Chain A
Amino acid sequence: MMYKYFGFFLAAFLVISVAICSWIYVIYQQEKELLTELKRLNTSKSEVE
């Protein structure tokens, strides 16, 4: 049996889940870029030395 206002509950649940997952995805991408940059900088530093 489908209860009344199920759509409202689903909307709230999805908003929270999608927002948290998106936040994690953005931060994860940022971490990936920073680690690549760090690797590049370490290589440049070694070449200069």
Chain B
Amino acid sequence: MESFHSRQSSKVMAGILAVFWVVVLYLVLNVTRIDPDQQMAQKIFYYHVPSAWVAGLGYLVVMFAGVLYLTKKDEKWDHLGLAAAELGTLFCALVLITGPIWAKPIWGAPWSWEPRLTTVLIMFLIYIGYFMVRNFGDEGERTRRISAVLGIAAFFNVPIIYVSVKFWAADAQLHPQPAMSQQSPDVFWTFMLSLLVFTLLFVHLLRFRVHILKLRSIVLGMRYDV
């Protein structure tokens, strides 16, 4: 089995992502307008929102992989689910870190127990539980099955996170409301490019992690044989 980055397609994708990471930073710093109130703090949004999108996407993949594992009992779906859960949680952690970095100068406090922030924190904690199941359980089928069920159940929190800015009473809300259609083209297109780069990064890292999990599975099988 070869190294993931010895493949031509992986090398090309890694190069494209590195270039576009710099392009997005350039656009964010030099092309997008400065918000008169929030100034540079507003620009955190170009990284915070795509991180949240990728976290949600990761948890969606965990849900589908869980359903496919329970129906087909194929190890590859378990690998996909675990890889997506790891990435989803990595990006969810980044949302929970960059949000308070923005909130400190704008709200005057890094955290508020308002609906959006609280539901994202709940999602993160559910996935801490998911990894506890994976780590404290054995490598067997039972742990995979429980993880698949947990991954499916956990996804029901994602739509709740999405509607949380509208669902709860207005006086409980503090998180900015989504209004991308009202933004100027420089903001809109930079945001869209950032969203695309984060999505491609997620796909690339997911393929990389699945490759490692497959490799690990082969090594464990061979250890048993030898």
Contacts and interface: CB of A to CB of B under 8 A. Distances in A.
Nearest to B97: A15
A4 B38 CA distance: 8
**Chain B contact residues, majority secondary structure:** helix
A5 B98 contact: no
B212 A27 contact: yes
A48 B7 CA distance: 31
Q: Which of A5, A17, A45 has the most CB of B within 10 A?
A: A5
A23 B219 CA distance: 22
A10 B94 CA distance: 14
Interface string A19-49: 1100110011011101101100110110010
Max chain A C-beta neighbours (<10 A), residue from B41, B94, B218, B225: B41
Interface stretch (B43-51, B56-64, B74-82, B128-136): B43-51
Interface in B15-54: 21, 25, 34, 38-41, 43-44, 47-48, 51
Interface residues of A, number: 30
Given A9-B44, A35-B1, A15 B90 contact: no
Given A20-B201, A24-B205, A34-B216, A8 B102 contact: yes
Given A5-B38, A38-B219, A41-B219, A13 B47 contact: yes
Contacts of B172: none
Interface of B: 1, 3-5, 21, 25, 34, 38-41, 43-44, 47-48, 51, 90, 93-94, 97-98, 101-102, 104-105, 201, 205, 208-209, 211-212, 215-216, 218-219, 222-223, 225-226
A-B interface, 8 closest residue pairs, ranked by CB to CB distance from nearest: A5-B41, A4-B39, A9-B40, A12-B98, A41-B222, A12-B44, A5-B40, A6-B40
